[in-house]
């Protein structure tokens, strides 16, 4: 379905033998904590994380190369801020753990007449879909806050159809040694506003057994990463 692409100039992915060994972050969270954080953020999310992170959302949609009839799963749909970006010729299922976020998403669907979209309350670590259910599986700004990002990524890959795409838009730890130390130090604090600042990209990809076809930096400043993977047949 999708032709291969080489990794972008921003990042050459070279897995190392011990990449899967270290912890991916100094910060550990539980689902209950994540749910409380996003229940609190539901009322302000669109204003605080909307405009600043929007360029990355647009680039992610472009990378999906959605075709008429495609089935898309958005993991961590939140308030549904992405839903109006999808072409109406596809079908979109959004899942999230936060009921308050989903209430806003449902209102957005009704207000904008997005009849091709639906949302469901679900744990991303245990997706209630059969294998090979979706043409595109997308996680925007969510991998760095879930308790087990590797389990979520593996579930995303499982429900993606052969030839489909797994797309992850997220903040990952900087490759700059000074910045990475700062991100590691502030991660226990940033998790309270929705993300771990020090999630290790190479370790995450190795542990999740994901092989990216492109890795690009997005948004301004370019502190966020768009990872696109193809599921082989």
pLDDT for residue 17: 38
C-alpha to C-alpha distance for 110 and 17, rounded to whole angstroms: 49
pLDDT for residue 132: 98
Number of Cβ within 10 Å of residue 221's Cβ equals 7
C-alpha to C-alpha distance for 198 and 87, rounded to whole angstroms: 34
144 CB contacts (<8 Å, ≥6 apart)?
25, 170, 171, 172, 195, 196, 197, 199
Residue 12 has pLDDT above 70, yes or no: no
Residue 223: φ, ψ to 5°: -100, 0
Q: Do 157 and 146 touch, CB atoms closer than 8 A?
A: no
Query: Per-residue DSSP letters for 185-208?
Result: HHHHHHGGGT--TT--HHHHHHHH
Ranges of each domain in the chain: 31-230
Fold of the domain built from segment(s) 31-230: Rossmann fold (3.40.50)
Q: Tokens at residue 93, please?
A: 């299922």
C-alpha to C-alpha distance for 186 and 130, rounded to whole angstroms: 38
DSSP 8-state class, residue 86: S
Q: Do 190 and 162 touch, CB atoms closer than 8 A?
A: no
Q: Tokens at residue 206, please?
A: 């190795």
C-alpha to C-alpha distance for 100 and 79, rounded to whole angstroms: 8
> If pLDDT is split at 50, 70 and 90, which confidence band does 154 have?
very high
C-alpha to C-alpha distance for 54 and 219, rounded to whole angstroms: 7
pLDDT for residue 74: 98
Strand partners, 72: 92, 136
Q: What is the pLDDT of residues 22-73, one digit of tens each?
A: 578 777 776 777 677 667 776 777 777 778 889 999 999 999 999 999 999 9
Average pLDDT, the chain: 87
Q: Could you tell me how many helices (H) and strands (E) the chain has, helices first?
A: 7, 7
Query: Does residue 144 or residue 50 have the better pLDDT?
Result: 144
Q: Do 116 and 90 touch, CB atoms closer than 8 A?
A: yes
Give the least confident one: 30-44, 192-206, 214-228. Answer: 30-44
DSSP 8-state class, residue 145: T
> Averaged over 207-227, what is the pLDDT?
95
> Averaged over 222-226, what is the pLDDT?
94
pLDDT for residue 38: 66
Residue 227 has pLDDT above 80, yes or no: yes
Taking the alpha carbons at both ends of the chain, their separation in whole angstroms is 10
Q: What is the pLDDT of residues 156-192, one digit of tens each?
A: 999 999 999 999 999 999 999 999 999 989 888 887 7
Decide: pTM greater than 0.85.
no
């Amino acid at each position: 379905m999708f032709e291969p692409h080489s990794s972008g100039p921003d990042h050459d992915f070279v897995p190392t033998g011990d990449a899967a060994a270290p912890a991916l972050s100094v910060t550990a969270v539980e689902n209950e904590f994540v749910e409380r954080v996003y229940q609190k953020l539901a009322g302000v999310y669109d204003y605080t994380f909307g405009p600043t992170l929007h360029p990355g959302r647009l680039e992610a949609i472009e990378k999906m190369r959605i075709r008429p009839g495609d089935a898309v799963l958005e993991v961590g749909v939140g308030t549904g801020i992405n839903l109006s970006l999808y072409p109406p010729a596809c079908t979109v299922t959004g899942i999230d753990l936060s009921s308050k976020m989903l209430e806003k998403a449902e209102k957005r669907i009704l207000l904008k007449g997005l009849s091709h979209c639906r949302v469901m309350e679900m744990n991303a670590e245990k997706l209630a879909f059969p294998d090979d259910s979706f043409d595109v599986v997308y996680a925007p700004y969510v991998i760095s806050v879930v308790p087990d990002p590797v389990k979520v990524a593996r579930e995303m890959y499982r429900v993606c159809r052969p030839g489909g795409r797994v797309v992850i838009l997220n903040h990952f730890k900087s490759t700059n040694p000074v910045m990475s130390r700062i991100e590691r130090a502030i991660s226990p604090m940033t998790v309270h506003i929705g993300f771990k600042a020090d999630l290790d990209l190479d370790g995450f990809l190795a542990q999740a057994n994901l092989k990216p076809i492109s890795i690009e930096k997005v948004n301004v400043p370019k502190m966020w990463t768009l990872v696109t993977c193809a599921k082989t047949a």
